[in-house]
Amino acid sequence: MLACVCVDYDEATAQDKKRSWLGRQVHRLLNDTTSAEQASFTVYPTLGYAPETGVEVGASVLNLFRAKNDSLNRLSELQAFAFVTFNAQYGLWLDNAIYSDKDAWFFLGRTRIQRFPLYYYGIGPNTGGDNYAVVDAFNINFRQRVLRKVVDNFFAGPEIDVNSLTGVDFQQPDEGAFELPTGANGSTNLGLGAALVFDNRHNVLNVRNGFFSEVSYLHYWSSLSGNSGFNTINVDVRSFHRVSKRNVLAWQLLANFQTGDVPFNQMALIGGDMMMRGYYQGRYRDKNLVATQAEFRMLPFAFHKRLGASVFAGAAVVGPRVGALSLRNVKPSGGFGLRYLLFPKKDIYLRFDIGFSPQGSSFYIFNGEAF
């Protein structure tokens, strides 16, 4: 038996050497055999689509590992995605969820460096119609939590959020020009605060069973926009329930509450690839938001080892004050998606989602689940 294994390994290695570098990466992506505790580092080309950018061509890096290669430790992930679009737009996205040995530390964050136009429909829950301004700008966003374990599954620590919008070209529509919002000429804000997190998930990219909740407070100082600063309270609750060996029911509740002079690009938003799929990100924006979504995931199908699917639905509302959040302004969304199992031993899927809303439909391709 050992001889057979060695022959297979040698043959696989010889075949791997015959492939180009790109061919080796694609082959490893589609034929991952790394064990649950073994780290994996994959680079692969991407061809994607998002309503905010259109067609994207780029490259992704996915690094999955467990502290000390111990399968009892949680799976950490580092993702990088660099892209250009057919409209000469570009961006670099970085995401991290890193657990140290025995969860002593938890580093959770994201970085966005990008330049592409965004559509501004105005502020509030009733910005109907297709009238929008085109805002072309260079945006940098860096948000990171450094969390220390207090007791099992409970973490606390400081949080930083840096957001810079520069080189802004605010192009008004031909008819019905908007009143320029705070930040229309650019803004740079530094937010400092603290976060409390409960997290017993074992695999953040595909949670089968677990619970996550975060409450954070941030105060922002401004250096460019001339505003007097603002405050933000964020609440994020996620619950995951295994209903069978393959199927998972998940739900999420998200709330953002802001006071002060908030730049338009940092307001609470409806839409995007994670919450309220089917809406353009920022189709509705305001100082306060409450949103929820539920998703049923079939991972994988009973008749196929690597293909799966999901169905999801959500609802959200925005308003200038908490008391102004109204049921009559609730926006619905829903959709479905396909899944492909990238890393069988680590249970990581590639998702292809299409979301629907009264505004139309949107298509998304990403590593890992939306939440």
Per-residue pLDDT tens digits for 117-174: 889 999 999 997 889 999 999 999 999 999 999 999 999 999 999 999 999 999 999 8
Residue labelled with tokens 């996550």: 212
CA 75 to chain CA mean position, Å? 17
Q: Which of 14-18, 82-86, 313-317 has the highest mean pLDDT?
A: 313-317
Q: Which of 334, 333, 343, 335 is nearest to 300 (CA)?
A: 343
From CA 81, how far away is CA 50, in angstroms rounded?
A: 13
Residue labelled with tokens 């060996």: 245
pLDDT at position 225, please? Answer: 52
Three-state secondary-structure class, residue 266: helix
Q: How many CA atoms lie within 13 A of 19 on its CB side?
A: 14
Q: What is the pTM of this model?
A: 0.87
Hey, where are the domains in the chain?
Answer: 40-367
Residue labelled with tokens 């530094």: 190
What are φ and ψ of residue 24, in 5° steps?
A: -65, -40
Class of the domain covering 40-367: mainly beta
pLDDT-derived band at 6 (thresholds 50, 70, 90) equals very low
